[in-house]
Amino acid sequence: MNKEQSNEVPGMVDLATIVSLCKRRGFIYQNSEIYGGLGSVWDYGPLGVELKNNLKRLWWKSMVYERNDVEGLDAAILMNHDVWKTSGHVTGFKDLLVDCKSCKKRFRHDLIKSDVCPECKGELTEPKAFNLMFRTFVGSVESDANEIFLRPETAQGIFVNFKNILTSSRRKLPFGVAQIGKAFRNEITTGNFTFRSREFEQMELEYFTYPEESDKWFEYWVNERFNWYTTYGIKNANIRLRKHDKEELAHYAKSCYDVEFLFPMGWSELEGIAHRTDFDLKQHSAVSGKSLSYFDEERKQDIMPHVIEPSGGVDRAFLAFVLDAYREEKVRGEKRVVLGLNKFLAPVKVAVLPLLKKKPEIVAMAKAIYKDLSGNYKVVYDDTASIGKLYRRQDEIGTLYCVTVDVESLEDKKVTVRDRDTMEQKRIPVSDLKSYIDKLVR
């Protein structure tokens, strides 16, 4: 049985519950569902896009705005064919696959633990290499000369732009370049929801250092990235670091740590932090004939920087944060499902709920509040059920605060603000509401 198909972890919510919640509440849908779907490709719905944007914004804030040593980049998905030849992906970005001679299913050789088919126990073929890059053609002629790839990682866009960024930003070592963007891999072992998708997003930093300082920075980034996940809510029991064995290292890496999360199928990679040495800059310099070295003014010498790369998946982080935040509680004998997401991640910050929708004054007051609070984050208005049901709905999607407008509100010009986690309720004057909520959610 492969690592990703192993038994569910006790104590962790099962994946089926999360898949169902994500679909029902509009976080994630199967791509092209009405046509039977496209395997391992997913669409993020109204709440999913909010959470995903919040996640990316949080990463960007930590990696770019809160530091003074990182610039951003948004490189194109399509790149010159030679980039991938030089990086080693054309020859090296391969998985070894085995086929089952009986049921014809295909498996990644490194993920299966026995020498028979994990599904039907049939005989397996010898492993053969399969390149994971999606191929396409630029222009109207489908020839080898016009072959290009959808990028399988965002990093190469940073390496080939190294000189451009250096010249335009006038940075000195050490400094980093951050990028968030789509990547594509024709994965064979799929399943486990969005964990292994064929189209996904990466959040990558390439941090350029003096060669002799690179080990120190490697250690620094391993800690920094691990702490990022716990700072924004992942429980210590669900996250760990794992150092790669020598045999496991990618062709470009001197050493690597994985930040692993305890997914329902077992401990699996959330983010990799790799010491890429000067592999990429050196290779691109040699093949393109354009030097990507750094001229050190003080030392009066050309230096090929070494690179530390924290590379995380947006989709895997999304899934981990949701799994980690999900909890079921008993409240007055009834089940309450709460998505206890960190306040910066929660897709909806406030829900405005009128208690009596038959009273036009209450509806008018609630709508005015809804309008007033909107503008900087997601606020929703809901009057389609009883208050108990409305609260449960909001708890299940992780809404931080519910504001209810009732008959008394018309008299005292106050509303009730309910906290998602404590369920505590406070009466707040409408005139103070915006600044009160703003302080809590931003």
What's CA 146's distance to the chain center, in Å?
32
221-250 residues near ligand ATP, rule: CB under 6 A: none
Q: Which residue lies nearer to ligand ATP by CB, 229 or 381?
A: 229
Q: Which of these ranges, 162-170, 193-201, 381-389, 399-407, lies near ligand ATP under the rule CB under 6 A?
A: 193-201
154 binds ligand ATP (CB under 6 A): no
Min. distance of Cβ 268 from ligand ATP in angstroms?
7
Q: In angstroms, what CA-CA distances link 390 with 8, 206, 410?
A: 31, 45, 21
Q: Pick from 159, 177, 156: which is nearest to 71 by CA? A: 177
Q: Alpha-carbon distance 57 to 51, whole Å?
A: 10
Min. distance of Cβ 105 from ligand ATP in angstroms?
18
Q: Pick from 67, 56, 141: which is nearest to 314 by CA? A: 56
Q: Which of these ranges, 26-34, 49-57, 196-204, 412-420, lies near ligand ATP under the rule CB under 6 A?
A: 196-204
Min. distance of Cβ 181 from ligand ATP in angstroms?
11
Q: Which residue lies nearer to ligand ATP by CB, 316 or 378?
A: 316
Q: Which residue lies nearer to ligand ATP by CB, 181 or 272?
A: 272
367-396 residues near ligand ATP, rule: CB under 6 A: none
Q: Which residue lies nearer to ligand ATP by CB, 50 or 258?
A: 258
Could you tell me if 124 and 115 are in contact, meaning their C-beta atoms sit under 8 angstroms apart? yes
Min. distance of Cβ 315 from ligand ATP in angstroms?
5
Strand blocks (E) in 221-343: 239-243, 255-263, 266-277, 294-296, 301-303, 306-313, 326-331, 334-339
Tokens of 224: 């920094």
Q: Which of these ranges, 194-202, 286-294, 350-358, 423-431, lies near ligand ATP under the rule CB under 6 A?
A: 194-202
Min. distance of Cβ 230 from ligand ATP in angstroms?
17
Strand blocks (E) in 355-424: 379-381, 401-405, 414-419
Q: Which residue lies nearer to ligand ATP by CB, 198 or 306?
A: 198
Q: Which residue lies nearer to ligand ATP by CB, 313 or 354?
A: 313
Kindly report the three-state secondary structure assignment for every residue of 110-177: HHCCCCECCCCCCEECCCEEEECCCEEECCCCCCHHHEEEECCCCHHHHHHCHHHHHHHHCCCCCEEE
Paired with 137 in beta bridges are: 147
Min. distance of Cβ 387 from ligand ATP in angstroms?
39
Tokens of 311: 């590379």
Q: Which residue lies nearer to ligand ATP by CB, 259 or 369?
A: 259
Min. distance of Cβ 169 from ligand ATP in angstroms?
25
Cis bond before residue 174 (omega within 30° of 0): yes
Min. distance of Cβ 292 from ligand ATP in angstroms?
22
87 binds ligand ATP (CB under 6 A): no
Give me the 308-337 binding string for ligand ATP, x by CB under 6 A, dash otherwise.
---xxx-xx---------------------
Which helix (H) or strand (E) segment is 208 a member of?
strand 199-209
Q: Which residue is nearest to ligand ATP (CB)?
A: 313
Min. distance of Cβ 259 from ligand ATP in angstroms?
8
Mutual angle of helices 314-325 and 46-60, in 10-degree steps: 110
Q: Alpha-carbon distance 242 to 228, whole Å?
A: 16
Min. distance of Cβ 245 from ligand ATP in angstroms?
13
Number of residues that bind ligand ATP (CB under 6 A): 16
Min. distance of Cβ 369 from ligand ATP in angstroms?
40
Give me the 269-308 binding string for ligand ATP, x by CB under 6 A, dash otherwise.
xxxx------------------------------------
333: alpha, beta or left, given left = phi > 0 and alpha = psi -120 to 50? left
Q: Which residue lies nearer to ligand ATP by CB, 324 or 383?
A: 324
347 binds ligand ATP (CB under 6 A): no
Q: In angstroms, what CA-CA distances link 431 with 359, 361, 373, 439?
A: 21, 17, 11, 14
62 binds ligand ATP (CB under 6 A): no
Could you tell me if 95 and 109 are in contact, meaning their C-beta atoms sit under 8 angstroms apart? yes
Q: Which residue lies nearer to ligand ATP by CB, 188 or 430?
A: 188
Could you tell me if 340 and 421 are in contact, meaning their C-beta atoms sit under 8 angstroms apart? yes
Of positions 196, 275, 284, 378, contacts ligand ATP by CB under 6 A: 196
Q: Are strands 70-72 and 175-184 parallel, antiparallel or unpaired?
A: parallel
Contacting positions for ligand ATP (CB under 6 A): 153, 185, 187, 196-197, 200, 202, 269-272, 311-313, 315-316
